Structure formats: C-alpha cells, structure tokens
Amino acid sequence: MLLSNIYEIIPSADKFSVQTLPYTKDQLDELRAAHNSNYSFFRHADEIIAIWMEGKREPFGTDRTIAWKDAPEICHSATRHLLFRTFIRKLPGRAPLDFAPLRFLSQNKKHDLIRDSLPESLKDVATYRRLIELDVRRLSREETHMLGVTVNIDQFWGLSLNAAEMIARGFDLAGRRVTEAKPIPGLSNLVAPDETVIGEVESTDGKTVVVRDSGQTRQVDARSVHLRRWPYDILDFIEHEAGSTLRQRVEAAWRGAPPLASNPAELLAEQTSVVSYLRQWSFDAAGGMKFTVNASPMVCDSTLALRPTVFRFDPSPGATHQKPASGLFKHGPYDARRFTPKSPNVLVVCDPAFRAGFSSFAHALENGVADSRYFQRGLRDLYSLHGMSWHFLEVPINNAPRLQQAIQTHLQQARVDYDIAFLQGEEVREGAQDKDNGYFAAKASLMAAGIPVQAVLPHRTRLKGDDLGNILGNLALQVYAKMGGTPWTVESAGSVDHEIVIGVGHNLERMPTGQSNRVVGITTVFSSDGTFLVSRTTNAVAYDNYFDTLLEELTQTIETLSADYAWRNGASVRIVFHVFKPMKMVEVRVVSSLIGRFTRYNILFAFVTIALEHPYLLYESTSGSPRDFRNVRAPDRLKNAVIDRHAALIHLRGSSQRRIATHGYPRASLVRIHPSSTFTDLHYIVQQIVDFSHLSWRTFFPTYIPVTVHYSNLIAEMLQRLGKVPGWNPACLSGPLRRKKWFL
C-alpha cells in the first residue's frame, strides 16, 4: 500500500459566499491595506475575490455563492487563506516565514538540534530548528476535484542578530554573503520579512554595510542586513563568540543528528502528529466556508503499471539485458560496429611530478585491472576498440596562463588529431575562482579545439586493485560516451510515428548591476530509444530576445533531423519536450510557433516538466492501515502515484539505491504534462522518463531525472564556469562537440 504526506481537506459545508469585483492591481492593494484584518482578497482571472473571515461585514462588490465541487481554483485559493488566517488567529505573535506554502519554525526546544551544545548566552541566538511546511494542493480522484494539505518537515539554520549587532560584537563580516530583510507589502505584520541574498560584504562602518554584487557596490543599513543562513558562517560566528572547542561540539551535534528523513516511519508519524495538532483548530470563515483535515495520510490507489527498463546493446534482435553493466560485459556497446575512432588518440595533460602515476593509470584504463572484481577488462576490450595511442604533455598545472599557452602551442605543433584529453584537476574546487583555475583554463583551450575533456585527480592515479577498478568502471563509460559512443539504448515500443525527445534548458549569465542579464538556450535531442542525437546552445542574448533565439535554434534542429532521417511529407511526428520547470505561456507559444513552421508534417507534441522540488512524498506500507507506521519504508524504483490525468509521482531511484540512511529520503519526481499538449498519454510519457533516467552514461545507475533534463543541467553548469575563463568562446560547441557528450 502506498501512502503519501497528503491529508485530505474535507468541506464541512457544500457552499460559501464571497464578493467579487473587477480586478485591478491598485484596487487589490487598496482593499488589502484597508480591510486585511477581516477579509482575505485574491485575484481569480479578471476578478478580485473577497472572503469574509471575521469581524464586521463590508459591502465591496457583487455577492456570489461558491460550490466546492464547481469552483476548484477559487476553493484552492480560499483554503490557503483560511489555513493562514486560522494559524495567525490561534498562534498570535508567531509570524510564519511564508504564506503559501505556510512555513513556520517549531517552538519546541527539543526540535533545536544544537541548543544543548550551546552556552546560555547563545541559546536562541544561533539555532538549528525544525521547519514545518504546509501547502494546499489541488488533486483529483476518479475525475473528482479535491484538495489536500501536504506536510513537510526539515531543519533550518538561524541567527537572530542583524549585521549591526554582529559588528558591535566584533565579528568580521568582510567577504561573507548576506541577505537583506524587507517587509512584504500587505503582509508586514503577518509574515516574517522577506530575506534576499544581496551579495558579498566589502566593508562596514557599524551603521552601514557596503555590499558587492555582480561588480557593483551599494550601501545598506546594517540593521536590515543578516548573515545568510549557511551553516559554516553561523559556526564561524559561534567560534568567534565561544571558541573553537565549542564550535567543534556544535558541529558534531549538527552532523551527528540523523536526519528525520532517514527513518520513513518516524517521518510519517511526525507529519501525522502535525495534522493531529491542526485538527484541534476550527477552520471556519464568517462567510460560511468550513473544512476539516483528515487524520490519516492519503492512500495512493491510482498507479501506473510500469515495466522495468530493458537495455539494448545491438540493433539486431536478442542483444538485450535487464542490467546495463551485465549487458555491456556480455554484448559490448550498442554501436560497436559503427563507432569510430577504433584507435583513438589520447592526450594526457599533467604535472611532471605525476607523470608516473598518470602513465600507470592510462595502462590500467586501457587494459584493465587484473585483481579488480569489476574492471578486469579494460576500455579497449570492453568497448571493442583496437588500441589507444597515448600522448603526454607535462606542464605545471597551478599556473593558468602558462598552462593554457602550453596546450595551445602543443595542439598547433601536434601531428595527430586528439579524440579525448585527460586533464589533471577536478570540476569542483572549493575556494577557487573559475577564472583563475588552471583546470578550467586548460579545459577551455582543449574544447576550443573540439576535444572533449576528462578530469582526473592525481591521487587517484596511485590507487590499486578494487579501489582503482571501482573508479575506472564509471570513467571508461564516460570516456566512451565523450568520444561520441553509445554504450546502450533502451527498448522502445515500435510506432508508425517518428519521435524525438528534446530537453530544453538555459543558462543565465548574470551581468553587472544596471545591465540586462543574458540567457543561453540549451537543447539536447534524443531518439525514442534514448540515442543521443545532438546538443545545441544559442548565443548569449538579452532575456527579451531569448525566446525568439530559442525558436530559431529549435527550428534548425528539427530541419536537420528531418533531413537526416528522411521524414516524408505528411509523416506523423511526435515531439516530446522535457523541461526542468513549469512552462510559462510565453514558452508554450514559442513551441506552438515552432510546430506551425512544419505544416508538411502531422505533428503531435507534449510539454512535460520533471521536478524534484515539490511538496509530495510517497511511502510504502506493508500493513493494511494508513495509521500503522511501524512497517513503513521508502518506496523502491518504479513505485508511482497518479495525481491527476496530467500528473504523476514516480520514484526513479528508490530504497535499494539509497546506500546509507544519511543519504536521506529518496524523493519521487513529479511529472506533469502541460494542458496545451496535443499528446497526453501519461502512462507512455512516465514510462519513457523511467527509461531515460537510466541513460546518463556517467554511471551504471539511474538518476533522479531523465537525461534530457540532466544533460541540459550539466551543460548549463559547465557553461557558467567556462564563461568565467578569459577568451572562452562557446561557438566551439556548434562544431564536432555538439554530437558528443563532452559535458559528462
């Protein structure tokens, strides 16, 4: 039995009364300012909805009766307002952090996990308290609209002092990122001020703080500035106040406390206890709106019958397997007969001090590790290569300009075309600026020449046996994919429709204050069996021009693919767009315009969002009662629940992929089809997302999101970092690299 963290909202009256007025922003602001104590106001379409909550009734507009079953959108908003109003009424003086979702901090001292480790002078000053989040969501069951409240619990760092108070205590804020607290218009006395990160502190004089952001500085009143809620900054403050020993004790308490999410049964029990507390309240508005909250978590009885992913290792029949690693060992890579180059030229760029280690590492990668359980066969044998030609460039890594110049000189003088380069360094380096990072400078130079790059940490070249084999298994997979190979595809249902799946993402380039931010559009394109076809990036353009640029890029992509695969006039073509965030109408119009450019084909399309940031959790219970939490665990892969006809929750990774409890709770992905889509087969789309989550080629294990979105995110992250390297030109990605997985 699947349970959720959703608790059904049950109306106590079939109808309630509201007043409606024509919408204008000024009118809405005026009503809230004058009557917020007794009424709630919100916009619905072109109307203002006024709900009488308490106190004196005022005539604002036209009276209207709302039936719960006939007006789901109005009931949704009204329920959020009544939940918030009841919270404020029952807990006066407790300003929540947000209105929707309703987020507030627990006042139970036991829920502050560092309190017992602090001296009296810092208790309730530095905190790590429980954060409770309630969100009202629209659901459907058997085509009937309903509402439910989701309950989530987390921990939240806090520091009650503002910058002026911290400066008075002698704490140095220079170089630290800070937030500015601003009251929310219309909610200044009801909700905590909004805190927004405003940049890095450059200097202070006790009364004002000079903050730098995107190359620009400004002065801010120190009383409205707070240290960001980052654990290490708060721990630094604790050390300043009470010494390093106390800091270590607090840090041990923080790290040693197992997350609540590590125990599914305990988490669900705590969420249900929050609802038990809510059920003591009366949710009752003067206008007749009333509801209660169900005491038990919702049972998810509407699910999709999904099949495990089947992996294909050859276009011919029979070369399939249920596990990617086992299938690869048995059959070899999917494109073994077509892959080139069979004898790749490999460049290794390393510091002279690590030449021996990199040489041994190269030998082990090509030929395998004899005493390893998982990598006895090397890259050459496992991926059906003839051999590998290794070339070394030894140069100090810690001098970015010199390293970049050495690589450029070597490439100009080299008599071979390199298919991949191994580069000493790492993608993430704490405390290093990307523009000064030798690794990224070298990576930019190599990619400018059309050469994909694989990072290698020098200490890993000294490993032996299983320790080395465990690393080389995933690394060999990435190298083959980066050189343009296809290790495996997935078994797809045959169809008379041509189908392509397009991941749509973007990278935002932040410009100095006063200039418009620029956007780089990113698209990754796959066939229906998961074969990677191409990636494309647009030039950086102002946000206002982004959608026109994206439209042109998508048009070119489809023109290229239709020519490559000889689509005939009148052919049925299915295009599934995967995006990482809910699509706004302007994006829907862009894609609709794209479809309109290809009238020679019969095109069906689906706009699909795949999100990890959502309020839903699923649990699996082996007992027959939703109130028995003793046998509750995290669901395994493929477990799912249908939210409505256009949305479902799916576990792409489950309990068996959670190696240790401290990894936290494996979250389901929320898949939602935009209602403007002309292809809305939820079962097909969710199954496709399940299959595409096992195609990352960074690892043999599934990811939390399909590669369509995952690849776009990886490209965006890499573009952001390479963009800080002087002289970087993203135009190189439009050459040979666009058909290779250089971003893995």
The three-state (H, E, C) secondary structure of 410-434, written as one string: HHHHCCCCCCEEEEECCCCCCCCCH
Query: How big is the CA angle at 247 (ends 246 and 248), to the nearest 5 degrees?
Result: 90
Cross-strand pairs, 345 = 389
Residue 420 is predicted with a pLDDT of 96
b/e map 499-526, b = 16+ CB within 10 Å:
bbbbbbbbbeeeeeeeeeebbbbbbbbb
- Element spanning 570, H or E: none
Q: Which residues, 6 or more positions from 249, have their beta carbon under 8 angstroms from its beta carbon?
A: 117
Q: pLDDT tens-digit profile of 106-147?
A: 999 999 999 999 999 999 999 999 999 999 999 887 678 899
pLDDT for the residue numbered 434: 47
Q: What is the pLDDT of residues 488-521, one digit of tens each?
A: 999 887 676 789 999 888 777 766 555 556 777 7
Pick left, alpha or beta for residue 170 (phi over 0 → left; psi -120 to 50 → alpha; otherwise beta). left
What's the pLDDT at 60?
84
Edge to edge, the sheet with strand 320-321 lists 320-321, 311-312, 489-490
CA distances from 411 to 12, 406, 423, 711 (A): 75, 9, 14, 28
Residue 53: the pLDDT is 94
- DSSP reduced 3-state for 527: strand
CB–CB of 482/337 below 8 Å? no
What is the value of pTM for the model shown?
0.86
Collapsed DSSP state (helix, strand, coil) of residue 725:
coil
In the chain, the amino acid numbered 159 is L
Model pLDDT, residue 237? 95
Pairwise CA distance, residues 161 & 619, whole Å: 39
> Each residue of 470-489: b (16+ CB within 10 Å) or e?
bbbbbbbbbbbbbbbbbbbb
Residues 188 and 95: their CA atoms lie apart, in Å, by 10
Q: Is 704 exposed, middle or buried (0-12, 13-18, 19+ CB in 10 A)?
A: middle
Alpha-carbon gap, residue 283 to 72, rounded angstroms: 18
CATH 3.40.50.2300 location in the chain: 342-466
In this prediction, residue 430 carries a pLDDT of: 38
CB burial readout 639-656, b (16+ within 10 A) else e: bbbbbbebbbbbbbbbbe
Instruction: For the domain made up of 494-739, give the CATH fold.
Output: Nucleotidyltransferase; domain 5 (3.30.420)
Taking every pair of Cα atoms in the chain, the longest distance, rounded to a whole number of angstroms, is: 87
**pLDDT reported for residue 133:** 96
pLDDT for 429: 46
Ramachandran quadrant class, 164 (left: phi over 0; alpha: psi -120 to 50; beta: rest): alpha
**pLDDT reported for residue 311:** 94
Low-confidence ranges of the chain (pLDDT < 50): 429-435
pLDDT at 232: 93
Which superfamily does 342-466 belong to? Answer: Response regulator (3.40.50.2300)
pLDDT at 660 (0 to 100): 53
Q: What is the C-alpha to C-alpha distance for residues 163 and 207, in angstroms, rounded to an integer?
A: 9
Q: What integer pLDDT is reported at residue 186 of this predicted model?
A: 62
Contact (CB, 8 A) for 314 and 23: no
SS3 of residue 467 by DSSP: helix
Peptide bond preceding 101: is omega within 30 degrees of 0, i.e. cis? Answer: yes
CB contact at 8 A, 338 and 518: no
